[in-house]
Structure 1
Amino acid sequence: MVMPRLSRRRWLALLLAVAAAPALAAEVDDEVQHILAAQVAAWNAGDAKALAQDFARDGEMVNLLGTHFQGKDDIERRHAQLFATLFKGSRLELLKSHLRSASHASVVVETEHLLIGFKSLPADFPPVDARDGLRTTLKYVFIREHEHWKVISARFTSANGVALPN
């Protein structure tokens, strides 16, 4: 296989891109971590509108029970219901996050949360004491949309006893 020769200009552009990659990765990580913190703050405030604001208009979420929420408006509406019932007064804590850049315009983030103080869980859910808390993992897919990161997909799973990689 013959490798094409690159002009000096292209070599310089390539070197600059490689040199800028760690700074760009740190910037993306900071932006995404800010969104994750805002999600936790919105949950703890019981604020469904704030929780949904970082989702893309056509974003989706699958909760712990496998219920599928389609679209930003549905995510907000369904969380308003949850915050008024089962999860009223509950507290969410972000324990760990692991970010992987899939491309310049998409990022996959796995998080581990602890949820405490919930009223109850559905009868078919494995027993969990609200004082001990429920450990969950959440896999987010973020996309770059008009210079901002938006959640296009989020999927919860129970993680009691399961840890994310460091």
Structure 2
Amino acid sequence: MSKKMLSLAVLPFVALASTAGADEGEIQRILEAKEAAWEAGDGDAWARDYQDDAGLINLFGMRFDDRETNAKRHSEVFQGAFAGTSLDVDVQDIAMLNEDLAFAEAVLRVSDIESMPAGLPDRGDGVLYTRMSFLLERDDHHGWQIRFGHNTVVHP
């Protein structure tokens, strides 16, 4: 096979790899934007990157079936038990399932908790760790958005 033919054969794979890298970067940005929404105590900003009918299961196993309910619940959380706390999102893995579907996993660290809410592990340091999984979907109108999220407490 000539170098020219080999280059033409490899070209689609190189283009796919660069697209995947750009997609992973965009997904990383979406997940890390949760930090600023948390700091601002803004439930609408928290839910902004979820699809209109996206599902979410929170730490207590409660299921929310749309962006609006997700935003409302997070606004309550930001004004309640987690008011004045900080969030750090550490994206652990992004797996491209196909060109329009991805799975991401992140460890969330909520710090500066004055009093740990009942039912959550209290390490005595005002810090809560969770592991959150995200299914993301891309479409031509909205780009990447979260289709489903599931948050789980990490016990000491």
Q: CA deviation at 1:103?
A: 0.9
Structure 2 residue aligned with 1:100: 95
Aligned partners of 2:31 and 2:91 also within 8 Å: no
**Partner-residue secondary structure (3-state), 2:22:** helix
Structure 1 residue aligned with 2:13: 18
Q: Distance in 2 between matches of 1:59 and 1:13?
A: 40
Aligned partners of 1:102 and 1:108 also within 8 Å: yes
Structure 2 residue aligned with 1:150: 145
For residues 96-137 of structure 1, what are the alpha-carbon distances to aligned partners after superposition, in whole Å with 9 as ceiling and x for unaligned?
A: 421000111100000012111224344233333353x11111
Percent same amino acid among aligned pairs? 26
Stretch deviating more after TM superposition (103-112 or 152-161): 152-161
Q: Distance in 2 between matches of 1:17 and 1:129?
A: 53
Q: Distance in 2 between matches of 1:70 and 1:130?
A: 33
Structure 2 residue aligned with 1:134: 128
Out of 119, 129, 153, the position equivalent to 1:124 is 119
Gaps of 5+ in 2: 1-5
1:113 and 2:112 matched: no
Out of 64, 70, 73, the position equivalent to 2:65 is 70
Structure 1 consecutive aligned stretches of length 4 or more whose deviation exceeds 3 Å: 11-16, 119-122
Q: CA deviation at 1:158?
A: 1.3
Structure 1 pair 88–16 and aligned structure 2 pair: CA distance change class (3 A) = same
Which TM-score applies when normalising by structure 1? 0.82
- Which residue identity lines up with residue 137 of structure 2 in the other structure? I
Structure 2 residue aligned with 1:4: none
Aligned partners of 2:91 and 2:104 also within 8 Å: no
